[in-house]
Amino acid sequence: MTDKTTLKITYREALKQGMHEALITKDKVFLMGEDVGRYGGAFAVSKGFLEEFGEDRIMDVPLSESGFVGAGIGAALAGMRPIVEVMTVNFSLLALDQIINNAATLLHMSGGQINVPVVIRMNSGIGNQLAAQHSHSWEPFYAHIPGLKIVSAGTHEDARGMLLTALESPDPVVIFEYTSLLNMESEIPSGSGAVDIDNAKVRREGKDLSIITYGPGVYKALAAAEILASSGIDVEIIDLRVLNPIDDETIINSVAKTHKALIVEEAWRSVSISSEIISRIMEKAFFSLDAPVERLCGIEVPIPYPKHLEDASIPQKQDIVDSVLKMIRYD
């Protein structure tokens, strides 16, 4: 029986509810993307929207990533609030010039005159043996660029609420959503709505070690924490949520408390989000550390097709447990 104050919901449903609320409450908002209308959305997130909101607000676009992302940027320049859906991050590469040289840069190049309030949603990550070209984690890439706000919806609460806040931003926001979470069920408070897109969140409080992660790493870390708790190890879990600009304060406070940190992400190890987090911990919390910071990242290989290899190429719950045990051993 579900509690009256919470709602059991899939991640997909949460995304849908967020977008639905946006379309209902904000009249300048419209959705544009491949197969968002007649197909009902590649991942069924916008199913039924075309019938409800009409062609003017739910636009099926041709396969022209550069063209339609650029058009979304232009529409944002000229008074609209487009939600540009890039089917997956893998296809976003074709639109990089528009995103980086236009969306991220117009405010600056114009000396502050032009705002680009575009929201770009992209489905990301590993899932379902889709092989190398369909399994990228481009968060580190995008997080590198000044002028973009990059957020990662690793929980149902964020899937429900990040879009709404992003649509209020005067600057471009890129939202990473995750294929691997779409079918997962969880509970969110019944009145859930917009959430902030500025801060990291402590998803679990603890005192022995800080696990810092984002995206699919959040639920994996929480599951690992359950297992560790039965061994008497109490981990704190930080969900970064915003990958650019990063919320240093939450991270530093956590490390000051636990003195140990483990970063977990699916993206490839070198020049990744973990590289950045570890640098910041070194810069700002060096004297809090009782052990080197460690990280679990994607293995540097194009994502393979067979399941056992695909699973082995990113950190899993058990890997997190094993790493934490190893790090705590010295205590």
* Closer to other proteins by Cβ: residue 75 or 122: 75
Mark whether 65 is an active-site residue: yes
Alpha-carbon span 66 to 83, nearest angstrom: 15
The pair phi, psi for residue 58, each rounded to 5°, is -120, 100
Nearer to other proteins, 5 or 113 (CB): 113
310: number of Cβ within 10 Å: 18
For residue 86, give the nearest of 172, 188, 208, 202 by alpha carbon.
Answer: 172
Nearer to other proteins, 17 or 98 (CB): 98
The C-alpha atoms of residue 106 and residue 97 are separated, in whole angstroms, by 12
Is-cis flag, bond preceding 304, omega within 30?
no
**Closer residue to other proteins in complex, CB, 59/238:** 59
| Cα–chain center distance at 165 | 14
List the structure tokens of 199: 């801060």
> Which residue in 34, 65, 177, 265 is the catalytic one?
65
Residues in contact with other proteins by the rule CB under 8 A: 30, 56, 59, 61-62, 64, 66-80, 82, 97-98, 101-102, 106-115, 146-147, 149, 170-171, 259, 286-292, 330-331
Q: How far is the CB of 113 from other proteins (least distance, A)?
A: 5
CB of 80 to other proteins, least distance (A): 5
Q: What is the spatial distance between Cα 177 and Cα 175, in angstroms, rounded to a whole number?
A: 6
What is the distance in angstroms between the CA of the first residue and the CA of the last residue of the chain? Answer: 42
DSSP H stretches of helix in the chain: 11-25, 49-53, 65-77, 89-92, 96-97, 106-109, 139-143, 156-166, 217-229, 248-258, 273-285, 307-312, 317-328
State yes or no: is 134 an active-site residue. yes
How many residues can be counted in the chain?
A: 331
Nearest alpha-carbon partner for 274 in 285, 284, 264: 264
- CA-to-CA distance for 71 and 80, rounded, in angstroms? 11
| CB closer to other proteins, 101 vs 128 | 101
* Residue 152 token pair: 């990662």
The residues assigned a catalytic role are: 65, 134
